Amino acid sequence: MTEHKTPSFSSKVGLILATAGSAVGLGNIWKFPYEAGQSGGGAFLIVYLICCLLFGLPMLMTELYIGKQSQKSAYGAFRKLSNNNRWQWMSWVCIITALLITGFYFEVTGWCFHYLFAAIGNSFKGMTAVTMQTHFAQLMSNKWALFGYSMIAVVATAGVLWFDVNKGIERLSKILMPLLLVMMILMVIRVLMLDGSHKGLEFFFKVDFSKITPNTVLAALGQCFLSLSVGLGALITYGAYMQKSQNITATSLQVVILDTAVAVLAGMIIFPAVFAFGVNPAEGPQLVFVVLPAIFEKMSFAWLSGVFFFLLLCIAAITSTISLMEVIVAFINEATAKTRHPLNRHKSVIIVSAMIMLTIGACVFREEIFNWSDDFTANILIPLNALAMTIFVGWFLPKKDLLEEFGKEKGFKHYFALCYLQIVRYFIPLTIVIIFLNGLGLWDAIQKLF
């Protein structure tokens, strides 16, 4: 029998960067702008920001806590903390959610690789947002090429996981984050100089409260969870790699701030450009991909800017796919550790890569599966997991341990901890239940009764 050993993050910075690396990715740069574009710009942004504070931050703390306390991945964490098998189903929901996300997430990472190669080959020269739409449509019709590009993402991710979490993830995240931020700020400055860009800023920052509907709230909530990588156990795995002395609250706060900053910067790049180029903001998943290359055409050092940005985007996507795949790898590794056929890290990586190829294939060859898994995970599975995890931590784990972790001596930390506890016990579960009831039409029915 081989002993399952939990690796650990060697430094505080490494932990924050790896968690931020998981959080910052296509969710921020690809999905956030298109969701905001479809849900009324400013109306979406404000709901999104509130969601990050009231739901995202506490959920991040909750997942890291489950991992840190149990020192297990999503597979063993619930059983270990509850001392029974009754919560084991949650591990399975986590794994299914992670698998469903891999399909569309790796596919879009494949798009990024295509754009990187196209940028290197100078294929965007002279292109406008309109001709970019044709380019995108052509890419979408070439299914095998799409599948091939996604395979690059699978190989890159599997490669990093093959060589152990610590070295791989930390090393990558340390270089990436500052570079990405600087590049995005330069792009914001450039697009704001375009004619007509102010309309985009207005669209993104002006809040029209009449546009906020229950659907906006559900979309913003799902987007906030996906963007922060919560609701599928990815951060349980990272929490398990935390050392005792590492602080959950501080890590979570920094990650939420960074993640939200990247999403807002993405909006500040995309929307001014969308209006300057006359693109429809509600265009959907292709929005970012038709607008970005056209932006580089307007920048000095067009070739270099394009190549550099798409390279950063690919790396940002890979640091996210790493944590996504790590959930499943750690699960298989831990689930088989005490059996007669333990699957070590390398074998698990190979098996998970094969599974992911299937989910990618389904998404690439069937567009409806792509759309369905994107919507179903963000709007149903992730909120459902969040509901279960908050009930688990808020109601079934000892309050004493929670306060021990988050602040037990009187003072600001203690009040923050108490506030966190109330949010996890009442606010998040109740709100998610109400949102689901509303989705089922029950809310309308209840209102009609009175």
Asked if 110 is part of the footprint of ligand PHE (rule: CB under 6 A), the reply reads: no
Asked if 237 is part of the footprint of ligand PHE (rule: CB under 6 A), the reply reads: no
The two three-digit tokens of residue 204, written as one number: 């993104």
Asked if 324 is part of the footprint of ligand PHE (rule: CB under 6 A), the reply reads: yes
Asked if 99 is part of the footprint of ligand PHE (rule: CB under 6 A), the reply reads: no
List of residues 6+ apart from 344 with CB closer than 8 A:
2, 333
Binding residue for ligand PHE, selected from 232, 352, 389, 393, defined by CB under 6 A:
232
Largest CA distance in the chain: 67
Binding residue for ligand PHE, selected from 16, 17, 18, 27, defined by CB under 6 A:
27
Task: Please check whether residue 36 is in contact with residue 283, taking contact to mean a CB–CB distance below 8 angstroms.
Answer: no
Asked if 394 is part of the footprint of ligand PHE (rule: CB under 6 A), the reply reads: no
The two three-digit tokens of residue 292, written as one number: 């970005």
Which segment (17-25, 161-169, 181-189, 239-247) binds ligand PHE by CB under 6 A?
A: 17-25
CA proximity to 401, closest of 90, 60, 81:
81
CA distances from residue 431 to 259, 389, 424 in whole angstroms, order as listed: 23, 14, 11
Number of residues that bind ligand PHE (CB under 6 A): 15
Asked if 377 is part of the footprint of ligand PHE (rule: CB under 6 A), the reply reads: no
List of residues 6+ apart from 399 with CB closer than 8 A:
421
Other CB atoms within 10 A of residue 90 CB: 22
Other CB atoms within 10 A of residue 209 CB: 8
Which segment (4-12, 66-74, 224-232, 351-359) binds ligand PHE by CB under 6 A?
A: 224-232
Which segment (125-133, 268-276, 320-328, 408-416) binds ligand PHE by CB under 6 A?
A: 320-328
- First CA to last CA across the chain, in angstroms? 63
CA proximity to 10, closest of 234, 235, 174, 252:
174
Asked if 260 is part of the footprint of ligand PHE (rule: CB under 6 A), the reply reads: no
Of the pair 94, 127, the CB lying nearest ligand PHE is at: 94
Binding residue for ligand PHE, selected from 15, 16, 23, 269, defined by CB under 6 A:
23
Of the pair 320, 336, the CB lying nearest ligand PHE is at: 320
Task: Please check whether residue 194 is in contact with residue 187, taking contact to mean a CB–CB distance below 8 angstroms.
Answer: no
Which segment (227-235, 265-273, 286-294, 412-420) binds ligand PHE by CB under 6 A?
A: 227-235
Q: Under the rule (CB under 6 A), what is the footprint of ligand PHE? A: 22-23, 25-28, 101, 226-227, 229, 232, 234, 320, 323-324
